[in-house]
Amino acid sequence: MYLQFFRASFLANIGKKQHSLFVELEARRGTIYDCNQKPEAVNISADSVYASPNEMKDKDKMAAIRQFPAILNISESSLRNKLNRKKSFVWIDRKISSAQSQQVKQLKIKGVDFIKESKRCYPNAYLASQIIGFAGLDNQGLEGLELYYDKYLKGKNGFALFLRDARQKKLDLKDKMLAPKDGYDLELTIDEVIQYIAERELDNSFRDNHAKGASIIVMDPHAGQILALANRPTFDLNEYSKVNKDQVRNRAICDMFEPGSVFKIVTASAALEEKKVNEQNRFFCENGVYRVGNHLLHDHTPHGWLTFTEVVEESSNIGTTKIAQLIGPDLVYKYVRKFGFGSKNGIDMAGEINGSIKEPRFWSKTSIGAIPIGQEVGVTALQLVCAYSAIANGGKLMKPYIVKSIKDKFGQVIKSFSPVVARQVISADTAARMRKILTGVIEEGTGRMAKMEGFSAAGKTGTAQKLEPNGAYSHNKFIGSFVGFAPAEEPLIAIVVTIDEPHPYYYGGVVAAPVFKKVAADVLKYLRTKQLPAEAYASN
């Protein structure tokens, strides 16, 4: 009577715990695809090992403690601690390799079993590592798009209550079950082929120039779609536990630097847009030395009289400063802001920064000779490529984006993204005139090493001294850059290349322009093949 009526509920619960095993069912994390549906991040099935210490005999525990550390990623002391707990379920090691799983199974230790889980895998290892980021052991996004879009990718876990027999052997029967809800897939604007081309050439320049860091972005100037983005140093996404912060950092959107001469397009565009000058107006460049306030401004090559066009082509600091003095600080600042500097571009990635630009009321007497030539201002590589894209596309500043759509596992679109015009920066006429001038930079000026065979291009070189900790400009640390677009008449791509602390050569026209040339040429050839009809391939 006592057992049947007064202790029935208590004893029944004990029996239920002995004959039931609660297991969480992991949701499938969404796949990340490039724009051609090539997988960049996928989930694969992997065994996870668990033990039931309450049901294990001492000899089984000792066998596990003696043999598992050599096979699995676990120490003897940690394993001993786990198996001595009064629990019916403890994890031993999760998402192990098939070879490890086979070795553990061959030991046939009682009280040890396996659960199938999904493991995040990155088929291309190093490719687009700072874009994609990575997910941790529990499929939780930790960096990059894996983190930014985690709420869409991760899904929702379910559970199952398995029945066990008197010997604690799991039966293929489920008492209760809630199926997991799989995560959504991402389709990127990134093109795997363009990404490979960009990384290949960036890697060569980073290595050959003994640089501290490097970045490249390839963008569709008309849509704002990011076709490729890469940084150096980089890392293998499948070995993320071994990386440091310097490798993970997405320099292209979160590193601020003084841009140098690539910034001169702001003053030049402002002067044309406000009708203060025309291409033939001449400026005396003081034979290479010009006093601004208490500072002597120099040109890298002394010049006398230069036309407005030649000032840009020859990248004259003095000519640019005289144009800035002509239009005034307020207009310079107005167009700095209109081109998107000093604020985020709004890309759908974590870590983007504003950059830095002072309002004219905070300028010193020498600022008019510094800001127009890319000093006393902090920018990102992303801001530069967006600004040049505005010149390439007829004057519109586009909001950059990297995810094209979010889909469920059946391919139904949950959310899609399309081009967004942030604002009209300059008129289409001014943009056309600037494109012509920037074409001259490559044809006749400092950017000759960016000139391609078969394609025209427009762009600007930049070489900026880095600041030392004491606030002085360094004489041996530079950032060499090149920003441009191609073809010059009807641009399909805009590219920014930055090389941080290259040596022994540090000029942007020497270390960055050749990267632009090689990437642009190969990308344009690739885009041309994509536009060919299927019959063209068959005939070849």
Q: Quote the CA–CA distance of 282 and 307 in Å, as a whole number.
A: 4
What sign has the CA pseudo-torsion 226, 197, 341, 486?
negative
Residue 235 has pLDDT above 50, yes or no: yes
Residue 32: closest CA among 475, 404, 536: 404
Residue 22: which H helix or E strand, with range? strand 20-25
pLDDT digits (tens, 9 = 90+) for 348-366: 999 999 999 999 999 999 9
Mean pLDDT of 139-162: 88
**Where residue 212 falls among pLDDT bands split at 50, 70, 90?**
very high
Mean pLDDT of 354-382: 96
Where do the DSSP E strands lie in 189-294?
213-219, 226-232, 282-284, 289-292
Query: CATH topology for 192-534?
Result: Beta-lactamase (3.40.710)
Q: What pLDDT is stored for residue 103 in this prediction?
A: 93
194: which residues sit within 8 A by CB, 6+ positions away?
A: 218, 227, 228, 523, 526
**Where residue 501 falls among pLDDT bands split at 50, 70, 90?**
very high
Q: What pLDDT is stored for residue 21 in this prediction?
A: 62
Task: Give catalytic residues, as residue numbers.
Answer: 261
Residue 168 has pLDDT above 60, yes or no: no
Mean pLDDT of 151-175: 68
Q: What pLDDT is stored for residue 6 in this prediction?
A: 67
Q: Quote the CA–CA distance of 324 and 379 in Å, as a whole number.
A: 19
Q: What rounded mean pLDDT belongs to the chain?
A: 91
pTM given for the model: 0.86
Angle among Cα 393, 398, 402 to the nearest 5 degrees reads: 115
Cβ count within 10 A of residue 330: 11
**Where residue 452 falls among pLDDT bands split at 50, 70, 90?**
very high
Cβ count within 10 A of residue 420: 13
Residue 535 has pLDDT above 50, yes or no: no
Q: What pLDDT is stored for residue 537 in this prediction?
A: 40
Q: Which of 22-26, 103-107, 399-403 has the highest mean pLDDT?
A: 399-403
DSSP helix/strand/coil, 58 = helix
List, in sequence order, every residue forming a beta bridge with 219; answer none if it has no partner.
Answer: 226, 494
Cβ count within 10 A of residue 305: 10
259 preceded by a cis bond (ω within 30 of 0): no
| Site of tokens 């015009």 | 421
Q: What pLDDT is stored for residue 88 in this prediction?
A: 80
**Where residue 74 falls among pLDDT bands split at 50, 70, 90?**
confident
pLDDT digits (tens, 9 = 90+) for 253-285: 999 999 999 999 999 999 999 999 999 999 999
Q: What is the percent of the chain where pLDDT is above 90?
A: 73
Amino acid at 297: L
Residue 158: closest CA among 18, 28, 43: 28
Residue 4 has pLDDT above 60, yes or no: yes
Report the chain's C-alpha Rg in angstroms: 30
Mean pLDDT of 234-260: 92
